[in-house]
Structure 1
Amino acid sequence: MDIKNLSLNPNYNILVTGGAGFIGSNLCEAILKNGNSVRCLDNYATGKPENIAPLLENPSFEFIEGDIRNAEDCLKACKGMDYVLHQAALGSVPRSINDPFTSNEVNVSGFLNMLIAARDAGVKRFVYAASSSTYGDSKNMPKVEDIIGKPLSPYAITKYVNELYADVFAKTYGMETIGLRYFNVFGRKQDPNGAYAAVIPKFVMHLMKHESPTINGDGSFSRDFTYIDNVIEMNVRSITGKNPDAVNTVYNVAYGERTSLNELVELLKEYLGEYDSKISNVEIVYGPERKGDVPHSLASIDKAKSLLGYSPSYDIKRGLKQAVDWYWKNLQ
């Protein structure tokens, strides 16, 4: 994504935690292209060396292999940085249900380590990945930032605790923080493998192999699927936003439309079918609903538009076309 028109000063030193992951590596790449210096902190728990391999030759890119659960690694990473884009976390609702302890250690204790390190390093602004899971059992549609329900998973609890900590650090230590509640992000570099792979790359891989993807439930559950370039835009706008009302708060990061899983898989079959006509005839299998799943998710993006000038360019169809093209070229 070209972020030059978003007025990001090319002279900033920016730390991206979890920078070898799906979202983090895309952020590193976009920010480097803008002429900034980028430091990446990752322990490769879910990130991949190949995601940042092309960046290692850039003299403005620095990689630190470290763990946010280690306070010293966090302090080392934050030293000399102007901004922090904190993406490091253990995602996945099912993973948190299977292992709540590790999710809490990374997402809560690790987050607190990063907040303290950023405070002590004098970082100008701490932007962090929050989550739409924070809305929990709230029935409100669309989801508006100041109306949430009770969390439905250990993962959701950890991400809500992040917001509480950020708010307290802003009030207590005068830090500038911005939380970005991501809604089902997808796009290039998203890992299709593993037990906790996201639905879009997992479905793509099955379809490319002419295997039937399994939909949890009857396929009526819907999500506000959000292409990676929209996420990059919001992270950059969170750095560049000058409005004092725009900081020390949280934003939905989404497109503002919802797509059912049945609709999603039909779009994937259509777009992949342009490369391989046999994919259009692959059957879909339906399985039991997953524990902790929210039936429907749709974001209001009015706050981000109003306070940060957010203007997402990629709806589900345009984003899926880009993602399918990337997967076809890179995962054959």
Structure 2
Amino acid sequence: MKVAITGGAGFIGSNLARALIDHPKINQVRVVDNLSTGCEANIAGLGVDFFEGDIQNAGLLDQVFRGMDAVVHLAALPSVPRSVRDPMASHQANATGTLQVLEAARRAGGLHVIAASSSSVYGANPRLPKHEDLTTAPMSPYAVTKLATEAYLGAYHHSFDLPVLPFRFFNVYGPGQRADHAYAAVIPKWISATLAGQPATVYGDGTQTRDFTYVGTVCRVLTDALLLRIVEPRPVNLAFGTRISLLDLIPEIETATGHPVEREHVSARPSDVPHSQADNGRLRALFPTVAPVALEEGISATADWFRTSVMNAASSYPQGRRAAEPDS
């Protein structure tokens, strides 16, 4: 099987590329990424074919998708706060970008398209756990773009018989996730701060709940979806119902890092969803053998990766010179 990954130099994409390139049933992996949020170093030495460029470049997509069997569409401008600051950029990258990917998949002969949506589409709907048939109530431009992503996949399946599978990701975390930018996710940001002896920034009172999913589990599901050629035009939650508050996350990080977590509370962010938890019934029906990595195991692996990153960054500087915070 030959697979293309859009956004393959990013956090989830590079982890998936690593998983696929080592799989005996995958013959070729191509990555396309404009490096706006990804990093070429993430895929260095993996043996993938890398194409630098934007998914809104139709000619580039035709080149990347030619001869492929499937595409995992992960390219996006992530982050709710980013989309609040610049809604148009999020729409162009996420909604229009998805449309370009689907058109290119059609031109390439009808590739199997697996794409990332987001739990943020549930938004203001308070019901827990979140099942896929709930009314969506986006609270941010980012959430709207992800709702458009999965709607376009469904429309292309019904209009053009394109084989598709939209996944709603829930707070994916793990090794390789950057902590050095304004839109960093909570787990890498708190682990990095704790290891550096800095306070962890808590937006609001910290009672918000999230359904964290380890990136290795996500890659396992995506790999199975490719190899089994799972086609489902309805969105599928990719999470396992493991709801935890941000405050309850702190002891897990303290155990994994071996350091106390100092908290610094700041104002809550606009458009943040207060609570999130997945109903995984549809996921379990499609992937009955997938076992999620436990939160404590995942956070431990993530902390280990950050320690290694810090040591590698420090060793690249002459003795006596202080290394900057590593680009993770």
Q: Normalization by structure 2: what TM-score?
A: 0.91
Letter in 1 for 2:31: C
Letter in 2 for 1:259: I
What is the SS of the residue equivalent to 1:54? coil
**CA drift at 1:124:** 3.6
In the alignment, what sits opposite 2:254?
269
In the alignment, what sits opposite 1:43?
34
**CA drift at 1:255:** 2.5
Contact 1:230–1:253, Cα closer than 8 Å, also in 2: no
Letter in 2 for 1:232: C
Two-structure CA RMSD over aligned residues (Å): 1.3
CA change 1:117–1:172 in 2 (3 A) is: same
Q: Normalization by structure 1: what TM-score?
A: 0.90
1:126-165 deviation per Cα after TM superposition (whole angstroms, max 9, x unaligned): 0001110111111111010111331100000000011111
Residue correspondences, number: 309
Question: For structure 1, which segment, 87-96 or 198-207, has the greater mean C-alpha deviation from structure 2 after superposition?
Answer: 198-207
1:69-93 deviation per Cα after TM superposition (whole angstroms, max 9, x unaligned): 2111222111111000000000000
What is the SS of the residue equivalent to 2:167? strand
CA distance in 2, matches of 1:94, 1:51: 25
What is the SS of the residue equivalent to 2:81? helix
CA distance in 2, matches of 1:217, 1:95: 18
- Off by >4 Å, runs of 4+ in structure 1: none
1:281-317 deviation per Cα after TM superposition (whole angstroms, max 9, x unaligned): x421111111110101000111111123252331211
What is the SS of the residue equivalent to 1:85? strand
**CA drift at 1:249:** 2.1
Instruction: Indicate which of 196, 214, 237 corresponds to 1:252.
Output: 237
In the alignment, what sits opposite 1:27?
16
Contact 1:70–1:110, Cα closer than 8 Å, also in 2: no
**CA drift at 1:242:** 5.5
CA distance in 1, matches of 2:169, 2:275: 15
1:53-109 deviation per Cα after TM superposition (whole angstroms, max 9, x unaligned): 121xx3xx2111110121112221111110000000000000000011111110011
Are 2:313 and 1:313 aligned? no
CA distance in 1, matches of 2:109, 2:127: 38
Instruction: Indicate which of 169, 172, 178 corresponds to 2:159.
Output: 172
Q: Gapped runs of 5+ residues in structure 1?
A: 1-11, 274-278
CA distance in 1, matches of 2:237, 2:45: 31
CA distance in 2, matches of 1:290, 1:111: 27
1:20-42 deviation per Cα after TM superposition (whole angstroms, max 9, x unaligned): 00000011010000132100000
1:100-127 deviation per Cα after TM superposition (whole angstroms, max 9, x unaligned): 1111110011110000000110144100
CA distance in 1, matches of 2:102, 2:136: 25
